[in-house]
Amino acid sequence: MILRLRKILPAFCALVLDGQDCHALTGLRSLGRHNVQVTVASDKPDAMSFYSRYCTQRLRSPSAARDPEIYGEWLLRTLGEKRYDALLFFGEASANVVMAHRDAVQALTGCPLPSPDAFLTADRKDRVMRLAHSIGVRAPHTHELASLDDVHALATSLRYPVVVKGVWGSCGHQVAVARDAAALRPTVERVAALRQTPDLPLPILQEYIPGVGYGVSALCRDGAPVAVFQHRRLEEHDIMRGVTLAHGAAGAESVDEPEMRDAAAALLRALHWDGMAMVEFRRSSLDGHFYLMEINPRFVGSLDLAVASGVDLPWLYTQQAAGRPVIAPRSHRTGVRYHWLLSKNVAQAFENPTGYLRAALGTLRPGVHSDLCWSDPGPHYAHLRAAAWWIREHRRETHAPAAAAAPSDLVAAPVAPAAPALAREATLEPEVPTRG
């Protein structure tokens, strides 16, 4: 009977973007294990997800980062040529393109998305800090600059070190540290020069919160959490140490922190959020409280740990996207550890070899998970190619004279993709968006 129904009923299909990203591979494997036919798209010919046993069809796409308009046209054309029950995106650039075509995308496939104003508030560090302060969520003391002349007036009144952040961009882009008043204006000028367009606001100035990074991943419907997962980072990029290659967390552990969960819920409720988001915090080593860092309006790199802890966010999201009932777990397993040995931070083996070796040996303990997948080993080919790239970059950083002379208060990072229209909007309008 089941076989007959499978022949009669149309197959459940999904389109996964950003197949070159490790968390896109997590989403692909999640859906594949639920017998979803998954088409994977990427602008990289050797994207790791292309080699997975769960990839039903490969699509080469334009680059969402370099050619967002062409990528948008390609995406709408692709969605119109075949029925997809759900669309999943994992990268910053693709998220911006999907949001820019929000109504057209949702007319063609299932894709829970917030309103444009809510997305903009989450994606812009200046606006999300204003939102946090307006609803009583702890956040670092933040100063916005109307002009570079404001830097001189603030320089002597700030407590150092001061973190200088561009208002748009992630993964370490446009983040630097000024350790004293003399370094503040040069640091602001350097970060401001990295803005994708001159109409973006100047960088914000924030107090430095010493401590450990945490995050709350949530699938929401109109601001109400459908599924929630929390984690803390075991190893992470720290701008105070001047790490130049490894920007993501190389290891993480599942946790349950009511203060952090409530703060994230308040922010997402104020935004009337639909779809996926990860609210990032830092737990202060001074007072033990959680301080908001940013909101990532999409799936993030800790997705493997969420699935391993019992919260299968890609599958839950896909069911919500397709209009199916979503039965999410009320809680998740805590104390589960995950180490990314290949897919994210091979660079850590060179920048912190002792930590990398400790993490690798730690995966031998029961209950510790890693991205080594013996049931789906194909993507490891792409992992090894990426490892070779990291090694080459590490050697360039180590031996290039320019790298040795680089200023210590500015973190070297690749230039972020061109900002889409949503990110370029520079208004200081409502901190709490209305329903979209």
Measured torsion, CA atoms of residues 72, 74, 75, 77, in degrees rounded to the nearest 10: 120
**173 and 196 Cβ atoms separated by less than 8 Å:** no
Contact 285, 234 (CB under 8 A): no
What's the predicted TM-score (pTM) here?
Answer: 0.86
CB 187 within 8 A of CB 164: yes
Sheet containing strand 175-178, edge to edge, reads 142-143, 204-207, 162-165, 175-178
Do the strands 13-16 and 37-42 form a parallel or antiparallel pair, or are they unpaired? parallel
Q: Would you say 119 and 112 are in contact if contact means Cβ atoms under 8 Å apart?
A: no
Closest CA to 337 of 247, 250, 237: 250
Cβ neighbours for 140, distance < 8 A, ≥ 6 positions apart: 129, 163, 206, 207, 208, 209, 291, 292, 293
- Domain range list for the chain: 2-112, 214-403
**The three-state (H, E, C) secondary structure of 266-306, written as one string:** HHHHHHCCCEEEEEEEEEECCCCCEEEEEEECCCCCCHHHH
pLDDT of residue 382: 83
pLDDT of res. 105: 98
In sequence order, the 6+-apart residues with CB closer than 8 A to the CB of 377 are none
At the second CATH level, the architecture of 2-112 is 3-Layer(aba) Sandwich (3.40)
CA distances to 91, 306, 316, 322 from 226, rounded to whole Å, are: 22, 14, 9, 15
pLDDT in tens, the chain (436 residues): 444 444 444 579 999 999 999 999 999 999 999 999 999 999 999 999 999 999 999 999 999 999 999 999 999 999 999 999 999 999 999 999 999 999 999 999 999 999 999 999 999 999 999 999 999 999 999 999 999 999 999 999 999 999 999 998 764 568 899 999 999 999 999 999 988 788 889 999 999 999 999 999 999 999 999 999 999 998 666 666 554 444 556 789 999 999 999 999 999 999 999 999 999 999 999 999 999 999 999 999 999 999 999 999 999 999 999 999 999 999 999 999 998 887 665 666 666 677 777 777 888 788 789 988 989 999 988 888 777 777 777 677 667 654 444 443 333 333 344 444 554 443 333 334 433 4
Residue 242's pLDDT is what? 55
Question: What tokens were used for 45?
Answer: 């010919």
Beta bridge partners of 176: 164, 410
Q: Which fold has domain 214-403?
A: D-amino Acid Aminotransferase; Chain A, domain 1 (3.30.470)
Q: How far is CA 6 from CA 11, 28, 35, 368, 398, in A?
A: 7, 21, 11, 37, 56
137: tokens are 């969520």
- The answer to whether 143 touches 162, Cβ cutoff 8 Å, is no
Q: What is the pLDDT of residue 141?
A: 96
